[in-house]
Amino acid sequence: MTAIGAQAHKLLGPKRPHRFFFESFIRTLIIVCTALAVVLSSVSICDGHWLLVEDRLFGLWYFCTIGNHSEPHCLRDLSQAHVPGLAVGMGLARSVAAMAVVTAIFGLEMLIVSQVCEDVRSRRKWAIGSYLLLVAFILSSGGLLTFIILLKSQLTLLGFTLMFWCEFTASFLFFLNAMSGLHINNLTQSWDPPAGTLAYRKRGRDGTSLI
């Protein structure tokens, strides 16, 4: 490309306007909240103890009995809890919840990449990341619902542990960030040149090639 062609390309090519501070702040806040949700969900699943009922502690990985002034006695064999379908159901719940974290990590990565490497495809990367967060919300909610359905006869509002509420909060943040990300993406204009613009940039108004 000649020097004149390069100058014409810069003048005629689409320019990305300066991003407003409010938009940048909202996108940064979405990324930070998503990272927080990933951490909360990861810690909650690793601990796994979600429900305390009298002297019994139900979790994704263990079933524990708590005696008076004694250490909890935990078993990996969830069938020992004598709850129908608990062993199979908990396997499904923890698998779905773990998949939610993995999906959210990929979504978070897409959100970060879309902001670090700004180009004509940034909005598309941001939209993909937001959709992945929506999938993470569906998976995380599925894990929570599976846990609640399995132990519906044991449930008490005060029996849910802090780890359960961490997972609940993470699931809510996945949904909130996904919806916010898609909404702010729709509010901004696409910087992709319309059809025919590329050919126009390559040729001057008199038909002379600029490249």
What does the pLDDT look like over 105-152, one tens digit per residue? 999 999 999 888 777 788 889 999 999 999 999 999 999 999 999 888
> Does 55 map to a domain?
no
> Does 100 map to a domain?
yes
> Does 147 map to a domain?
yes
> Does 101 map to a domain?
yes
> Does 61 map to a domain?
no
Number of independent structural domains in the chain? 1
Q: Which residues, 6+ apart, have CB-to-CB distance to 80 below 8 Å? A: 63
pLDDT of 196 = 45
Contact 23, 188 (CB under 8 A): yes
> Does 200 map to a domain?
no
The rounded Cα 44 to chain-centroid distance in angstroms is 15
Domain range for residue 160?
A: 25-48+85-189
SS3 31: helix
d(CA 97, CA 137): 9
**pTM exceeds 0.85 for this model:** no
> Does 168 map to a domain?
yes
> Does 58 map to a domain?
no
Q: In this predicted model, what pLDDT tens digit does every residue of 31-45 receive, in sequence order?
A: 999 999 999 999 999
- Of 43, 44, 47, the closest CA to residue 74 belongs to 47
d(CA 6, CA 128): 33
